[in-house]
Amino acid sequence: MREIGHFVNGSRVSGGPGGRFGEVFDPNTGAVQAHVALGDVALVETAVQSAAKAQRAWAEVNPQRRARVMFEFKRLVEARMDELAALLSAEHGKVIADSRGDVQRGLEVIEFACGIPHALKGEYTEGAGPGIDVYSMRQPLGVCAGITPFNFPAMIPMWMFGIAIACGNSFILKPSEKDPSVPLRLGELMLEAGAPAGVLNVVQGDKAVVDALLTHPLVRAVSFVGSSDIAHYVYRTGAAHGKRVQAMGGAKNHGVILPDADLDQATKDILGAAYGSAGERCMALPVVAPVGERTAAALRERLLDGIAGLKVGISTDPDAQYGPVVTAAHKARVESYIAQGVAEGAELVVDGRNFALQGYEKGFFLGPTLFDHVRPDMTTYQEEIFGPVLQIVRADSFEAALNLASDHPYGNGVAIYTRNGKAARDFASRVEVGMVGINVPIPVPVAYHTFGGWKRSAFGDTNQHGMEGVKFYTKVKTVTARWPEGEVEDSAFVIPTMA
Catalytic residues: 282
Name the DSSP class of 442: S
Q: Are 61 and 168 in contact (CB under 8 A)?
A: yes
Gap between the Cα atoms of 26 and 28, Å rounded: 5
How many Å apart are CA 467 and CA 476, to the nearest integer? Answer: 14
For residue 474, give every residue at least 6 positions away whose Cβ sits within 8 Å of its Cβ, in sequence order, or none: 120, 138, 139, 140, 141, 167, 168
- Tell me which H or E stretch contains 87: helix 81-92
Strands 413-417 and 254-257: parallel
| Residue 451 DSSP class | B
300 close to 289: Cβ distance less than 8 angstroms? no
Q: Nearest 5 degrees, angle CA 136-CA 140-CA 144?
A: 150
**H or E element that contains 186:** helix 181-192
Q: Are strands 132-140 and 143-147 parallel, antiparallel or unpaired?
A: unpaired
Strands (E), 39-89: none
Burial 82-114 (b: 16+ CB within 10 A, else e): eebbebbbbbbbbbbbbbbbbbebbbbbbebbb
- In 418-482, which residue ranges form alpha helices assigned H by DSSP? 421-430, 466-472
Sequence-distant (≥ 6) Cβ neighbours of residue 141 within 8 angstroms:
169, 220, 221, 244, 473, 474, 475
Ordered DSSP codes for 138-163:
EEE-SEEEEE--SS-TTHHHHHHHHH
d(CA 197, CA 286): 42
Long-range pairs for 131-137: beta carbons < 8 A, 24 or more residues apart: 131/482, 131/483, 131/484, 132/480, 132/481, 132/482, 132/496, 133/480, 133/481, 133/482, 134/478, 134/479, 134/480, 134/481, 135/478, 135/479, 135/481, 136/476, 136/477, 136/478, 136/479, 137/476, 137/477, 137/479
- Please check whether residue 233 is in contact with residue 240, taking contact to mean a CB–CB distance below 8 angstroms: no
Whole-number Å distance between alpha carbons of 57 and 20? 34
Q: Report how far residue 52's alpha carbon sits from residue 172's, in angstroms, rounded to the nearest whole number.
A: 10
Task: Report which of 449, 407, 461, 395 is spatially closest to residue 431, judged by C-alpha positions.
Answer: 407
